[in-house]
Chain A
Amino acid sequence: MATLELTIREEDVTAAFVPRPRRLGVLFWIAIGWMALVFAVAILADILPLPSPTDMDMLERRAPVSAEHWLGTDGLGRDELARLIHGARISLVVGLCAPMIGFVIGGALGMLAGYVRGRFETLVVGSMDVLLAFPPLILALAVTAFVGQSILNLTFILGVLGIPAFMRVARAATLTLARREFVIAAEALGATHARILLRELLPNVLLPLVAFFLLGVAITIVAEGALSFLGLGVPPPISSWGSMIGEGRESLDVAPRLAFFPAFAFFLTVLSFNLVGDALKALTDPRQGAL
């Protein structure tokens, strides 16, 4: 009987402790769907039967929506839809590559700082403070002004600017994890520092970092958009959503759609990354209702 009781109780306990799967909701899947669509058209941009995004047609400036130009043409007679789709490439390439830099360097520095502590931690946190002493957009603008405009420079600058944030996330996670039993056990078993960092800590730090990465993508896309909007992002004639919105500003009174199409695509994409990142953050963060 005693064994039976015990098994029943154990079942009860496990049943009570099974974390109820949190619902991701319809919005989450719509966001995933939009992201998939943007990815697909960006990757297939060269294969799709689109007019060239840079060919000008001075006779058809600001042409309305037609069978030939599905979204009309812009102020220089270039096909709006083609520019929109090629612009998605820039947003995605910069938006995904730049946070990678922050993810790898910031994540590694943060884990080391949280694990090694001492002088090294002070040095890392201090140098991040210096980077954070500049308003980010100002620093990005100043550096672009000196190194010149190119997609590579833009990605690199926005990536470096992301390092402090990733460093903080990784360090905070490592600080709490490093005192947990499984790390102490591994130390007691004589594991090397490298093994503890890579096998014990890294898998646990990775999850919050990945959730933060998606939010980082949203922030980077916005930053790239802002720089291109000011005409200091990707160099023309490459189209970027930011520069398209900036060019559309000139013709708000005659053809507002030239600003609104890219603005809408931009908004939906940023919103999607925010939604998915937020949902994943909620999944990895046990505190309910945390921001």
Chain B
Amino acid sequence: MLGFVVRRLLYLIPVLLAVTLLTFLIASLLPGDLAYVILGDQATPENVAALRHDMGLDQPIWWRYLSWLGHVLQGDFGRSFRTGQTVLQAVTERLPVSIELMLLAEITGLVIGVPLAIVCAAKSGGAFDRFMTGTAFGMLSVPTFLSAILLIYLFAVELRLLPATGYVPFSEDPVGNLRFLVLPALTLALAEWPGIMRVLRSDMISTLQEDYIALAKAKGLKASRILFVHALKPSSLTLVTVTGINIGRLIGGALIVETVFALPGIGRLLVGAIYTRDLIILQGAVLLVAVGFVMVNFIVDLLYAILDPRIRHGHA
């Protein structure tokens, strides 16, 4: 196990370095000079040249990358030239909102998807199974921003049950916080459950044909116990896989949902930074999100290895 962890960790180093390089290149090589953006209307050639010199933009590109990387490794991601806030401050301030949103969404997605998958697998080919598989397939074609509009229309405009936009921190008003998060989390969950259900369903159909399930039936165990305990356990690996694959989409979805519902999370920070052309915040936040994403994938890989010994020993 230790050997596996070390191997994966060593592989992370070049990937993370390449991620910093790509983030830097996107921000530096592409047209649109930072100095022009900062100076805006007052940009004269002399001003721009002076500012470029102050910011080190006239240095060769490899030197700028190395010095930027040096700062990043010390935890200095730069400072917004609009608000004066450091990237790290801005991100840590907003991270809890995004994490709460994504956790709630994933839990809701599991709560909808897992029972449906079990019921469908138990009577696969039946009317309910066919109806739910069809619905899940249809839901895969409903992107987050569509369901967001639909839910806002239904619950905020027509029924007036829930607020469409706004946010209060959990520590100030737990009930209010959850009220603001219901629609955003539900929106994301609507995109999550079809994937969970489809994969788990096909997985369980094959599990239910195993001999030990027949044995459990022969022993006279209750159908619900067989389904929820005996059949679900071997599918835990599948659930981890689906969740792992979904994280990238979940982050993208959270970005849209945060923008639509005006939640002060990382996604809104990114979109806001684009609207105001706050390139330092954008660069730093993109890098932090990508690093976080790589780390989460790394943890998912470790979870596989714990759940399935074959992966640890390189047989799978």
Contacts and interface: CB of A to CB of B under 8 A. Distances in A.
Contacts of B23: 142
Interface stretch (A106-114, A145-153, A172-180): A145-153
Given A134-B290, A138-B289, A141-B274, A218 B141 contact: yes
Contacts of A127: 18
B135 to A, nearest CB: 12
B277 to A, nearest CB: 8
A143 interface: yes
B57 to A, nearest CB: 15
B103 to A, nearest CB: 17
A278 to B, nearest CB: 8
A196 interface: no
Would you call the interface of chain A mostly helix, strand, loop, or mixed?
helix
Interface string A137-179: 1110111111110000000000000000000000000000000
Interface residues of A, number: 49
Contacts of B259: 230
Contacts of B140: 274
Contacts of B138: 271
Interface residues of B, number: 52
B252 A136 contact: yes
B152 interface: yes
Contacts of B277: 145
A131 B252 CA distance: 15
Interface stretch (B85-93, B142-150, B227-235, B303-311): B142-150
A133 B294 contact: yes
A230 B16 CA distance: 29
Interface string A96-134: 000000000000000000000000000000110111111
B251 interface: yes
B109 to A, nearest CB: 17
B157 interface: yes
B202 A136 contact: no
Given A133-B15, A135-B251, A291-B202, A147 B290 contact: no
Contact of A143 (B15, B26, B252): B26
Interface in B253-278: 255-256, 259-260, 270-271, 273-275, 277
Contact of A138 (B18, B31, B157, B290): B290
Contacts of A278: 137
B78 interface: no
A290 B201 CA distance: 11
A259 interface: yes
Contacts of B142: 267
A130 B15 contact: yes
Nearest to A27: B134
Interface string A242-283: 100110110011001001000100110011001100100000
Nearest to B27: A146
A289 interface: yes
Contact of B30 (A143, A231, A267, A274): A143
B61 interface: no
B170 interface: no
A148 B142 CA distance: 28
Contacts of A138: 251-252, 255, 270, 286, 289-290
B19 interface: yes
B40 interface: no
Interface in B1-53: 14-16, 18-19, 22-23, 26-27, 30-32
Interface string B180-211: 00000000000000000011001000000000
Contacts of B290: 133-135, 138-139
B178 to A, nearest CB: 23
A209 interface: no
Nearest to B17: A130
A64 B256 CA distance: 30
A145 B282 contact: yes
A289 B202 CA distance: 8
B30 A147 contact: yes
A213 interface: no
Contacts of A90: none
A130 B19 contact: yes
B128 interface: no
Interface stretch (A1-9, A186-194, A221-229): A221-229
A232 interface: yes
Given A252-B149, A252-B152, 8 more contacts: A126-B15, A130-B18, A134-B290, A136-B252, A230-B271, A249-B260, A274-B141, A289-B202
Per CB-CB distance, the 7 closest pairs between chain A and chain B, nearest first, are A137-B252, A271-B141, A146-B30, A135-B251, A130-B18, A145-B274, A270-B141
Interface of A: 126-127, 129-139, 141-148, 218, 222, 225-226, 229-232, 242, 245-246, 248-249, 252-253, 256, 259, 263, 266-267, 270-271, 274-275, 278, 289-291
14 contacts: A130-B18, A133-B293, A135-B290, A137-B251, A139-B286, A142-B270, A142-B274, A145-B274, A147-B31, A225-B145, A230-B259, A232-B271, A259-B153, A263-B149
